[in-house]
Amino acid sequence: MLEPLRFMTEDQVREIRHTFGTPTFVYDQATLETQARHVLAFPNAFGMNARYAMKALPTAAIIRVFLDMGLDIDASSGFEAERAMRAGATPERIQITAQQLPDNLDELLSRGVLFTCCSLHQLEVYGRLRPGAEACIRVNPGLGSGHNNRTNVGGPASSFGIWHEHLDRALDIARRYRLRIVRMHTHIGSGGDPDVWRHCARLSLGIAARLPEVTTLSLGGGFKVGRMTGEASADLQRVGEAVKADVERFANDLGRRLRIEIEPGTFLVANAGALVCTAIDVVDTGNAGYRFIKTDAGMTEVIRPSLYGAQHPVTIVPAEPGQRGRFEYLVVGHCCESGDLLTPAPGDPEGVCPRLLTEARIGDALVIGGTGAYCAAMSPKNYNSFPEVAEVLLTTDGQFRLIRRRQELDHMLANEIL
| Active site positions, annotated | 336
Q: Are 262 and 216 in contact (CB under 8 A)?
A: no
Question: CA 243 to CA 75: how far, in whole Å?
Answer: 24
Length of the chain: 418
CA angle 390, 395, 21 (to 5 degrees): 25
* DSSP classification of residue 223: B
Of 353, 364, 343, residue with least CA distance to 282? 364
Of 249, 257, 219, 217, nearest to 236 by C-alpha is 219
DSSP 46: S
DSSP for 168-202, written as a single string: HHHHHHHHHTT-EEEEEE----SB--HHHHHHHHH
Pairing of strands 348-352, 48-53: unpaired
Q: Where are the beta strands (DSSP E) in 197-286?
A: 216-218, 259-262, 273-284
Name residue 163's beta-bridge partners. 140
C-alpha span between 92 and 264 (Å, rounded): 19
Report whether 317 contacts 365 (CB < 8 A): yes
CB 133 within 8 A of CB 179: yes
Question: Can you tell me the distance from the alpha carbon of 134 to that of 112, in angstroms, rounded to the nearest whole number?
Answer: 13
